């Protein structure tokens, strides 16, 4: 066994991925997670025969996941089964208009033609913009660490640099491409995939709808937590020391270099390198640096108000994914980011995975995941606020024609920003760490290698290249490559 030891703080998706890659490279690896299960925000909850993913509900760019399994010496299809979602979602607007949105371009063009024929040209131009940003990003932002000098592949990718539209405000660029208020609201939703507002995020986030259209959205049979379970099994097979209920109290430094961690129980683990898979804003505190402070509220991404509902009847007319839009989208984001309150009229996302996968429910029931965006706040939610939020969410669903289910609920679990914060050490319950408002927040996240403390690295959604399951796995590869380059035996 190798004498080189890496300690990974946090067993979320990024922590498990970097542990696998380091193990495959010959490192002895220990993963310390403060919770009772691995996966971080990509987790699972079960009760009464109903099983729910509590985090992401679909994945994109499946080859990124396949690359990780290959690095671990196996094939993805030996561990998980991917199911392509078509349509991707049903969108329901305040006036009752609804449309099914998929990744089949011919079908989507028919839908756009019916909504607003003049927007077909705008759709092609918007898709082309996203494609150029993707071609640029895959050889630069997605492949290399922040602030690294470009190599030959990165320089060649610069020919895809968009000269128009990509450098402005996301909502403004959407409005320039689409006349239809329905299509504008639909495409304005995509910055929420990284916990941000379309009215403050940069237009380069047009890459997100392009990726979803070009490469599809995929569900994992049995739930997305099967990915985490598979990575845990592979880690154990490779001899990775996986520790739950092991909160790291501090990072040990020796001559400005990370040399291990101290657990809350007093145990010290020596290490050659330390990898942080948690919010980078927590690191100064772990290093016992003076004046360290958690991520400021104004810098935080969105949190969420989530209800997990098991119902005892089948909802045959409800799709796997649906979104019920608020009447005033701009006001909703003003509530979330400026006023920092739960919206009076929230947009509601509904994921009924049991419409695709009957293995996660008993008999004829349905497992329903319901989520509305919420501000990431340090003020604890009261029972009254939970009751009010529940009422507002259900009212929006009723206005959108969602079936009345309250009398059929047999299993219920509610997550607030307060619970997310305490469960995942996420400041205020911020799901993606910092928001992506402006260039600095979107593209200059903390680098994967600490500039002041040797042997300290970062992985996960709060570091480069950002939040989202595929980008978290990209961060694991970037971090592993940096470790291979800078930590020679």
What pLDDT is attached to residue 158? 46
How far from chain centre, in Å, is Cα 26? 29
**Reported CATH class of domain 5-43+59-82+223-294+434-486:** alpha beta
List Cβ neighbours of 43 (8 Å cut-off, separation of 6 or more).
37, 53, 54, 55, 225, 228
Q: Look-up: residue for tokens 């969602």?
A: 402
378: its two tokens: 């340090």
Nearest to 280 by CA among 479, 78, 464: 464
The per-residue pLDDT for range 139-185, each reduced to its tens digit, is 655 655 555 655 554 445 444 455 455 568 999 999 999 999 999 99
List Cβ neighbours of 419 (8 Å cut-off, separation of 6 or more).
429
**What is the distance between the alpha carbons of residues 249 and 411, in angstroms, rounded to a whole number?**
36
Please report how the helices 119-137 and 207-215 are oriented relative to each other, as an axis angle in degrees rounded to 10: 90
List Cβ neighbours of 243 (8 Å cut-off, separation of 6 or more).
30, 31, 32, 33
What pLDDT is attached to residue 466? 81
**What is the distance between the alpha carbons of residues 40 and 449, in angstroms, rounded to a whole number?**
21
Bond prior to 119 in cis (omega within 30° of 0):
no
What pLDDT is attached to residue 141? 57
Q: Where in the chain is the domain with CATH 3.50.50.60?
A: 5-43+59-82+223-294+434-486
The per-residue pLDDT for range 344-374, each reduced to its tens digit, is 999 999 999 999 999 999 989 999 999 999 9
Bond prior to 465 in cis (omega within 30° of 0):
yes
The per-residue pLDDT for range 205-254, each reduced to its tens digit, is 999 999 999 999 999 999 999 999 999 999 999 999 999 999 999 999 99
**What is the distance between the alpha carbons of residues 93 and 480, in angstroms, rounded to a whole number?**
44
Please report how the helices 469-486 and 13-24 are oriented relative to each other, as an axis angle in degrees rounded to 10: 40
Q: Are 381 and 368 in contact (CB under 8 A)?
A: no
| Cβ neighbours of 24 (radius 10 Å) | 17
341: its two tokens: 């309150």
List Cβ neighbours of 458 (8 Å cut-off, separation of 6 or more).
275, 276, 277, 280, 283, 446, 447, 448, 449, 450, 464, 475, 479
* Positions of E strands within 378-455: 409-415
Strand partners, 92: 98, 324
**What is the distance between the alpha carbons of residues 40 and 11, in angstroms, rounded to a whole number?**
6
What pLDDT is attached to residue 140? 59
**Which pTM does this prediction carry?**
0.93
DSSP 244: S
**What is the distance between the alpha carbons of residues 98 and 91, in angstroms, rounded to a whole number?**
5
């Amino acid at each position: 066994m190798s004498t080189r030891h890496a300690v990974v703080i946090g067993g979320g998706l990024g922590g498990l991925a970097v542990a696998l890659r380091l193990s495959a490279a010959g490192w002895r690896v220990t993963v310390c997670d403060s919770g009772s299960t691995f996966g971080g925000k990509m987790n699972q909850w079960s009760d009464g025969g109903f099983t729910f993913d509590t985090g992401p509900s679909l994945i994109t760019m499946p080859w990124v996941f396949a690359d990780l399994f290959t690095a671990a010496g196996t094939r993805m299809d030996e561990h998980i089964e991917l199911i392509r979602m078509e349509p991707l979602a049903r969108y329901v607007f305040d006036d009752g208009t609804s449309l099914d949105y998929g990744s089949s371009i011919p079908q989507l063009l028919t839908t756009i033609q019916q909504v607003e024929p003049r927007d077909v040209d705008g759709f092609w131009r918007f898709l082309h913009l996203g494609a150029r940003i993707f071609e640029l990003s895959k050889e630069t932002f997605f492949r290399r660490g922040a602030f690294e000098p470009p190599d030959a592949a990165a320089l060649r990718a610069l020919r895809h640099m968009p000269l128009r539209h990509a450098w402005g405000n996301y909502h403004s660029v959407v409005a320039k491409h689409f006349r239809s208020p329905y299509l504008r609201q639909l495409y304005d939703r995509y910055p929420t995939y990284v916990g941000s507002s379309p009215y403050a995020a940069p237009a380069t986030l047009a890459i997100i709808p392009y990726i979803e259209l070009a490469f599809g959205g995929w569900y994992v049979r049995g739930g997305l937590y099967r990915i985490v379970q598979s990575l845990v099994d592979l880690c154990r097979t490779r001899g990775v020391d996986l520790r739950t209920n092991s909160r790291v109290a501090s990072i040990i430094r020796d001559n400005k270099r990370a040399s291990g961690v101290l657990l809350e129980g007093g145990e010290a683990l020596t290490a050659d390198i330390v990898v942080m898979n948690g919010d980078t804003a927590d690191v100064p505190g772990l290093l016992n640096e003076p004046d360290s402070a958690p991520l400021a509220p104004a810098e935080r991404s969105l949190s969420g108000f989530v209800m997990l509902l098991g119902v005892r009847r089948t909802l045959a007319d409800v799709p796997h994914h649906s979104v019920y839009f608020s009447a005033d989208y701009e006001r909703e984001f003003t509530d979330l980011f400026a006023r920092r309150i739960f919206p009076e009229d929230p947009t509601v996302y509904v994921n009924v995975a049991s419409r695709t996968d009957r293995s996660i429910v008993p008999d004829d029931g349905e497992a329903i995941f319901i989520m509305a965006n919420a501000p990431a706040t340090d003020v604890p939610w009261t029972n009254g606020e939970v009751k009010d939020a529940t009422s507002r969410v259900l009212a929006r669903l009723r206005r959108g024609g969602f079936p009345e289910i309250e009398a059929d609920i047999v299993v219920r679990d509610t997550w607030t920003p307060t619970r997310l914060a305490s469960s995942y050490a996420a400041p205020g319950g911020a799901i993606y760490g910092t928001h992506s408002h402006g260039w600095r927040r979107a593209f200059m996240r903390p680098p994967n290698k600490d500039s002041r403390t040797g042997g300290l690295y970062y992985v996960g959604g709060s570091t480069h290249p950002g939040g989202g399951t595929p980008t978290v796995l990209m961060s694991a590869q970037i971090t592993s490559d940096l470790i291979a380059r800078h930590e020679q035996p």
